[in-house]
Structure formats: structure tokens, C-alpha cells
Amino acid sequence: MIIVVTGTPGLGKTKVSQLLSKRLDALHLDLNRIVREEKLTLGIDEERKSLVADLKRLSGRVQELIKESSKNVIIDGHYASEVVPPKLVSYVFVLRRDPDLLKVDLERKGFGKQKVSENISAEILGVCLSDALNAYGLKRVCEINTTDKCVEGIIEEIILVLDGEEKPSVGKVDWLGKLEREGRLENLMEQ
């Protein structure tokens, strides 16, 4: 089984993936770590102060690691849908978080103003969810609102889907609608 955990940066994908892989005795592939350690980059985005992943080379490397593994594999990264071929994926879990709280978390982690703004906008618009749906289809994608959940609670929700007790579902989160109703959309996206 190949499981993808994706979502906007700063949501805790890696922590969830690490604990889930321990629980399932699965191989954990952190796409950001692989890019850094194996130098699978096209360069540095100076404006955002981040590496630009070579998605083609990364995809090839991830496929090699999957083939080498005798275990289930959990892959985490916000660009996973551009790296992991649909034919390999069993389930995709898209983590979502209230944009107000995500903003606080990103600022606390030292993200620059532009990067915070871009990531908040991406979360509000559901970019990672849209990417996952486009790449993997509705039947394999499950959206999880992590806002009021601890890591263990998120993992329990994932396990329910993996065990067939819950079906993968999307449409649980509507930050855009919430912020529009509250009259706060423009303010939050402009910050």
C-alpha cells in the first residue's frame, strides 16, 4: 500500500507521517528530506529562500525507493501529487488547518511574510486538495481538518479510512466560504 500525506506547508505532515509509519511498520519517505539529502534540486529560489525541487528526478528516485521496499510506504510532501504516479497510490490524505492558526504557526516557525501569505492563500483556496483530486481522483482522496486535533487523533482518522471503517471523503473544509461569511477573506489573504 502506498499512502500519500499532503497539504500546505506547516501543517505537520511529516510528524503525522512519521508516527503513522511507525504504527503501520511502513517506510516513510519525506520528499523535502530526499530533495535536500540527495541534492535533487534545480537551484534556490532566492525570493522564498527555499530549494527548488527537481520533480522529475525526485519522482524517479521515489519510484526506485518504493520498488526497493518490502513494506507499505508513506510519502509526505506538499508537491507529492506532482511526484508520485497515480497508478502507485492507494490513498491520499490531504491535511487542512484553519488559516488563522496556520498563519500563527508559520510565523512562529520563521517563515517570511511572502511565504506566509502564499501558504495561507494556498490553504484558503485548497490548492493541495485540488492537486490531489486532479492527480488521484475522488475515490482515493480524503480531506482531514486538523484544526482541533492532536497528531494521534489525525492518525486515528486515517486508520479508520485504511481499515475501511470510513470512506475517503472531501468537501469537509471550506475556508474560503467561512472567511467570506465573516467578511475577513481579503484581509487574511493580503497579509
- In tens, the pLDDT along 48-66 reads 777 888 999 999 999 999 9
Q: What pTM did the predictor assign?
A: 0.94
Superfamily of domain 2-102+129-173: P-loop containing nucleotide triphosphate hydrolases (3.40.50.300)
| Residue 106 CB partners (closer than 8 Å, separation 6+) | 9, 10, 115, 116, 119, 120
18 or 46, greater pLDDT: 18
- In tens, the pLDDT along 75-88 reads 999 999 999 999 99
- In tens, the pLDDT along 85-114 reads 999 999 999 999 999 999 999 999 988 888
% of the chain with per-residue pLDDT over 70: 98
Decide if pLDDT at 180 tops 90: no
Domain boundaries, the chain: 2-102+129-173
Residue 45 is predicted with a pLDDT of: 79
43 or 150, greater pLDDT: 150
Residue 189 is predicted with a pLDDT of: 61
- In tens, the pLDDT along 117-143 reads 899 999 999 999 999 999 999 999 999
